[in-house]
Amino acid sequence: MKPYLTKGIKEIIDQFPEVEKILNEYDIGCGPCNVGLCQLKDIVEIHRLPVDQEQELMARITKAIDPEAEVKIPEAKEAPPPEPKAFNYSPPMRKLVDEHVLIKRWIALIPEVVKDLEVESQAGRQLVLDGVDMIRSYADKFHHAKEEDILFKYFDENSDILKVMHEDHKQARGHVQAILEALEIKDKNAIAEHLMAYAGLLTEHIRKEDEILYPWMDSSLSTRQVGELFSKFNEADLQMGFSPKKYEAFIDSLEKKLNA
């Protein structure tokens, strides 16, 4: 089993599909991840399961990988239904989580935008451009920049989990560039394809950050570092040169229009 601890989780799942089902039972959703660089040992550490659950999980994974292995799987204790996860974020992490709310509102609107997508008129093309501006200015420049330029610098950027986050950001930027290129030639299908791909990518990306990355980072930061981060985040916001209220107004208006 030991050699598998340092293997990428995607490689393990591809070889042993049962492992994905087991991880899902513990609310560790590695299957949908587009990158899968995280090693098995990292997956267990980052999710910080209670000791008894971690032992049970690793015993089941070991059995799935090597059915002949002599493994004693602890008896599952009957427990009440799990309550929704509640995270006690530090102020800088709470700031990032709160920023996710507006991005998620935009993601929720994308299927409706795609359904009524129209690129022959100026109004139809402008809607796509406004959506791209929301992504590039708010989601990327305002939000992702604070992660990449400030937060991630407090950790080992060669770690698998941060490689995954960087790759997600890179893929998101690729979808945005493809949307603009498709808009130039009025390729409605390509615009729709990349908008939906962006929505799927960011939905999973935000879940990983809110439920896995930020809580793990919070547990690793000192009180002094938390204060530094919060100060640096506020300073970065002041230097952005635009107000997030512009994008709040865009989403408010689009929600009213699409839900009318």
Q: What is the pLDDT of residue 27?
A: 67
Residue 51 has pLDDT above 60, yes or no: yes
B/e letters for 213-228, b = 16+ CB within 10 Å, e = fewer, are bbbbbbeebeeeebee
> Is residue 76 domain-resident?
no
Q: Are residues 95 and 180 in the same domain?
A: yes
Residue 98 has pLDDT above 50, yes or no: yes
Q: Which two tokens stand for residue 200?
A: 């799927």
Residue 238 has pLDDT above 80, yes or no: yes
Mean of the pLDDT values across residues 57-85?
63
User: Each residue of 3-36: pLDDT tens digit?
Assistant: 666 666 677 778 888 877 877 777 665 555 544 5
pTM value is: 0.74
Q: What separation in angstroms does the CA of 60 have from each of 2, 4, 6, 51, 222? A: 14, 14, 17, 14, 35
Q: Are residues 133 and 229 in the same domain?
A: yes
Q: What is the pLDDT of residue 38?
A: 61
Output the CA torsion 194→127→208→215 (10° steps). 160
Q: Which two tokens stand for residue 202?
A: 């960011």
Mean of the pLDDT values across residues 228-257?
92
43 CB-contact burial (10 Å; exposed 0-12 / middle 13-18 / buried 19+): buried
User: Each residue of 156-187: pLDDT tens digit?
Assistant: 988 888 999 999 999 999 999 999 999 999 99
Strand partners, 39: 8
Q: Are residues 59 and 187 in the same domain?
A: no
Domain housing 156: 91-258
Report the mean per-residue pLDDT for the chain. 85
> Is residue 73 domain-resident?
no
Residue 72 has pLDDT above 60, yes or no: no
Q: What is the pLDDT of residue 234?
A: 92
Q: What are the phi and psi torsion angles at 14 (to 5°)?
A: -60, -35
Under DSSP, the state recorded for 33 is -
CA proximity to 27, closest of 65, 2, 57: 57
> Is residue 148 domain-resident?
yes
Q: What separation in angstroms does the CA of 252 have from each of 103, 128, 149? A: 12, 16, 29
Determine the Cα–Cα distance for residues 106 and 252; give it in Å rounded to an integer. Answer: 10
> Is residue 71 domain-resident?
no
